[in-house]
């Protein structure tokens, strides 16, 4: 009986070591393979030239090395670049490079589509097509770093592309461990931010993980009534429970939880909403990131005026909160928050459900 080939791109190093050993090879080759894949951006075993020719030939029989293919690459006038990538099964997704924030940031997807159906998000319109594997999540990082000539550069990762990372918990955590591997990208978890709509059981589980990214919560409203209309999941996990979980979340001394708040004209942008938000966050080590809506056809909301945005931010700042307004990047190429969508993929049952919920 022959075992199907394992994908080198989808294995944590300990798993690769075991797989090598089971096939009669030395475990230490895993380190070499990791260096080739993550530090040198190699996508073919044949190019791993510090392995003997015979070993490379055998490995090519026993393993695959799957890398997302770049289908399209668009560059915004502000330097932001959006990559349309094709996965092994033909599914497509988008990843975004955001330069000079001042750091270099890769915005990475964790699912094709998303099941959360937030009222203002285009990706939510797709419904969930499928989860990504850890190899596909880290594959986006490999492809972007390679294409941008940044394999040996420092960059940050935000899990704020398509999908809800905590709805694909195991593969997302596996991806974080792979990115952290000292023989691969050796990414410090402090350079990674996971953004979630607040799937509480998964959030509580993450609080016990050895590798802990920075946490961002997509809050968007200070009350259940308002939040339910924007984030359907709030019917299950309400505002008070999320804030409680945040208060319990283990934070290192200097770190804070980011609360993202999409500003929608006339919906959640009044000074009264700001006062309620400030009250809600008192006692939480927080910073608030205001995201003026990135409007798009089919999204039934409008972006507030600059005055309304400033006024909202000022109310929070006056109450001692740390506030920033997210400068929208790459809007001209639809690479901004909530604008990632891949047309023409078959709708899933979750998508039909998402539409029915609305």
Catalytic residues: 94, 337
Q: Which is nearer to ligand SAH, 118 or 245 (CB)?
A: 118
Stretch that binds ligand SAH, among 9-17, 191-199, 233-241, 306-314 (CB under 6 A): 191-199
Residues belonging to the chain: 358
Kindly tell me which residue out of 189, 222, 304, 338 binds ligand SAH, with binding defined by CB under 6 A.
338
Per CB under 6 A, 119 contacts ligand SAH = no
Q: Phi-psi bin for 117: left (phi > 0), alpha (psi -120 to 50), beta?
A: left
For residue 57, what are the CA distances in angstroms to 3, 35, 49?
17, 19, 11
| Rounded Cα–Cα distance for residues 355 and 119 (Å) | 10
| Rounded Cα–Cα distance for residues 117 and 328 (Å) | 21
Of 120, 221, 227, 111, the C-alpha closest to 170 is 111
**Minimum distance between the CB of residue 216 and ligand SAH, rounded to whole angstroms?**
6
**Minimum distance between the CB of residue 352 and ligand SAH, rounded to whole angstroms?**
20
Of 51, 53, 23, 26, the C-alpha closest to 36 is 51
Residue nearest to ligand SAH (CB): 338
Q: Which residues pair with 345 in a beta bridge?
A: none
Q: Which is nearer to ligand SAH, 92 or 258 (CB)?
A: 258
Question: Which residues are CB-contacts of 310 (< 8 A; sequence separation ≥ 6)?
Answer: none
Q: Which is nearer to ligand SAH, 63 or 301 (CB)?
A: 301
Cis status of the peptide bond prior to 102, with omega within 30 of 0: yes
**Minimum distance between the CB of residue 23 and ligand SAH, rounded to whole angstroms?**
38
Stretch that binds ligand SAH, among 4-12, 78-86, 202-210, 287-295 (CB under 6 A): 287-295
Stretch that binds ligand SAH, among 118-126, 148-156, 173-181, 182-190 (CB under 6 A): 118-126
Per CB under 6 A, 139 contacts ligand SAH = no
| Rounded Cα–Cα distance for residues 54 and 38 (Å) | 23
Per CB under 6 A, 291 contacts ligand SAH = yes
Per CB under 6 A, 312 contacts ligand SAH = no
| Rounded Cα–Cα distance for residues 108 and 96 (Å) | 7
276, 279, 284, 290: CA torsion to nearest 10: 40
Under a CB-based contact definition with an 8 Å cutoff, are residues 132 and 171 in contact?
Answer: yes
Does residue 176 sit in helix, strand or coil?
helix
Stretch that binds ligand SAH, among 58-66, 146-154, 194-202, 206-214 (CB under 6 A): 194-202
**Minimum distance between the CB of residue 240 and ligand SAH, rounded to whole angstroms?**
19
Kindly tell me which residue out of 262, 277, 288, 313 binds ligand SAH, with binding defined by CB under 6 A.
262
Under a CB-based contact definition with an 8 Å cutoff, are residues 164 and 116 in contact?
Answer: yes
| Rounded Cα–Cα distance for residues 257 and 286 (Å) | 5
**Minimum distance between the CB of residue 196 and ligand SAH, rounded to whole angstroms?**
5
**Minimum distance between the CB of residue 120 and ligand SAH, rounded to whole angstroms?**
5
| Rounded Cα–Cα distance for residues 258 and 223 (Å) | 18
156-175: contacts with ligand SAH (CB under 6 A): 160, 164
Per CB under 6 A, 195 contacts ligand SAH = yes
Stretch that binds ligand SAH, among 26-34, 117-125, 244-252, 316-324 (CB under 6 A): 117-125
Question: Mask: binding to ligand SAH, 196-215, rule CB under 6 A, as x and -?
Answer: xx------------------
**Minimum distance between the CB of residue 278 and ligand SAH, rounded to whole angstroms?**
19
Kindly tell me which residue out of 118, 277, 281, 335 binds ligand SAH, with binding defined by CB under 6 A.
118
Give the 3-state secondary structure percentages of the chain, helix then strand then coil, rounded to 5.
40, 20, 45
Binding positions for ligand SAH, rule: CB under 6 A:
116, 118, 120-121, 160, 164, 195-197, 218, 260, 262, 291, 293-294, 299, 337-338
């Amino acid at each position: 009986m022959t075992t199907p080939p394992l994908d080198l791109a989808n294995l944590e190093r300990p798993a690769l070591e075991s797989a090598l050993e089971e096939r009669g090879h030395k475990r230490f080759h895993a380190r070499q393979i990791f260096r080739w894949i993550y530090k040198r951006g190699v996508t073919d075993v044949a190019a791993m030239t510090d392995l003997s020719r015979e070993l490379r030939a055998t490995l090519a029989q026993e393993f695959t090395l799957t890398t997302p293919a770049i289908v399209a690459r668009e560059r915004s006038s502000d330097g932001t670049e959006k990559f349309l990538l094709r996965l092994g099964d033909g599914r497509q997704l988008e990843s975004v490079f955001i330069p000079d924030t001042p750091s270099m940031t890769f915005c990475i997807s964790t699912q094709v589509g998303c099941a959360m159906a937030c009222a203002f998000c285009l990706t939510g319109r797709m419904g969930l097509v499928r989860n990504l594997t850890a190899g596909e999540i880290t594959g986006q990082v490999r492809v972007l770093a390679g294409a941008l000539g940044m394999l040996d550069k420092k960059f940050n990762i935000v899990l704020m592309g398509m999908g809800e990372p905590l709805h694909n918990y195991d593969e997302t955590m596996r991806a974080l461990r792979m990115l952290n591997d000292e023989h691969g990208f050796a990414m410090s978890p402090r350079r990674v931010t996971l953004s979630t709509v607040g799937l509480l059981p998964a959030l509580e589980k993450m609080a016990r993980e050895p590798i802990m990214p920075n946490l961002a919560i997509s809050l968007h409203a200070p009350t259940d009534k308002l939040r339910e209309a924007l984030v359907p999941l709030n019917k299950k996990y309400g505002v008070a429970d999320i804030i409680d979980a945040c208060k319990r979340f283990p934070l290192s001394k200097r770190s804070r939880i980011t609360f993202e708040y999409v500003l929608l004209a006339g919906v959640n942008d009044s000074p009264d909403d700001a006062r309620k938000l400030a009250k809600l966050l008192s006692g939480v080590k927080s910073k608030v990131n205001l995201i003026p809506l990135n409007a798009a056809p089919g999204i039934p909301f409008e972006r507030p005026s600059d005055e309304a945005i400033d006024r909202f931010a000022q109310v929070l700042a006056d109450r001692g909160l740390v506030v920033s307004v997210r400068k929208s990047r790459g809007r001209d190429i639809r690479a901004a928050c909530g604008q990632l969508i891949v047309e023409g993929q078959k709708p899933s049952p979750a998508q039909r459900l998402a539409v029915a919920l609305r």
